[in-house]
Amino acid sequence: MRPDYPGIERRVHGRVRKSSGDERFFGVHQAMWQARLKAPLEGAQWTGITTRLAAGLLERGEVDAVLTMTWDLADRWRPVPAIVTDPEALAQCRACVWATLRWSRWWSLRLRAA
């Protein structure tokens, strides 16, 4: 398999990533932001901001589910995908080293609307 990353980036973003700076590693983007919760969630890997954002989206009904990663019950170092529909259930995925959520599409739509 040999994906055509420049072709995909051109189709999706209208241009290819820059060969230097943050785009070299993170891909095409308009801006990069850093955020953290002032009061970290208990048991969070960093501050729990990703968990809190996902929970807020579920609570407000802006999304039906969140795709994330959680621990395998038999092997803590084996990640397993999870579809979470209950905001309180996100706590079970907290601090998963492999946890990842895709916010770029959701945020880009919100930023354009603002």
pLDDT tens, position by position, 12-47: 999 999 999 899 988 999 998 889 999 988 877 788
Residue 7 has pLDDT above 80, yes or no: yes
d(CA 83, CA 14): 31
pTM of the complete model: 0.62
With the C-alpha atoms ordered 104, 105, 107, 111, is the resulting torsion angle positive or negative?
positive
- What is the domain count for the chain? 1
Q: Is residue 41 part of a domain?
A: no
Say what the pLDDT of residue 113 is: 54
Q: Is residue 91 part of a domain?
A: yes
pLDDT-derived band at 70, boundaries 50, 70, 90: confident
Range(s) of the domain holding residue 92:
48-114
Q: Is residue 30 part of a domain?
A: no
Residue 109 has pLDDT above 90, yes or no: no
Q: Is residue 62 part of a domain?
A: yes
